[in-house]
Amino acid sequence: MRVLVSILSTVCAALCVAQQRPKEQLDALQRQTVVLYQAGKYVQAVGVSVRALELSEGKFGPDRSI
């Protein structure tokens, strides 16, 4: 679970480097993921990470290489 959260957060942050507004949204989701994870709320953390991933895919497409 920990690895999944880390991977999703890293991917989301990396995908939004070139875009300011989506980057701010994704950064906020990443911060929320970290807070939830550190509080032991793993299921909620994964849910937030999934939302960030969906936002990234919607903006950049599912096949964007990092």
Q: Residue 63's pLDDT is what?
A: 79
Instruction: Let me know if residue 63 belongs to a domain.
Output: no
Instruction: Let me know if residue 64 belongs to a domain.
Output: no
21-26: average pLDDT: 84
User: Domain containing 12: what range?
Assistant: 2-57
Where is pLDDT greater, at 3 or 12? 3
Instruction: Let me know if residue 15 belongs to a domain.
Output: yes
Distances (CA, A) of 15 to 1, 2, 39, 42, 64: 21, 20, 26, 23, 8
Number of independent structural domains in the chain = 1
Instruction: Let me know if residue 62 belongs to a domain.
Output: no
Q: Residue 23's pLDDT is what?
A: 81
Q: Residue 28's pLDDT is what?
A: 92
Mean pLDDT of the chain: 79
Instruction: Let me know if residue 38 belongs to a domain.
Output: yes
Where is pLDDT greater, at 63 or 14? 63
Half-sphere exposure in the Cβ direction for 47 (13 Å, CA): 5
From the list 13, 7, 6, the residue with the least C-alpha distance to 29 is 13
Q: Tokens 């994704």 sit at which residue?
A: 26
Instruction: Let me know if residue 31 belongs to a domain.
Output: yes
Where is pLDDT greater, at 29 or 3? 29
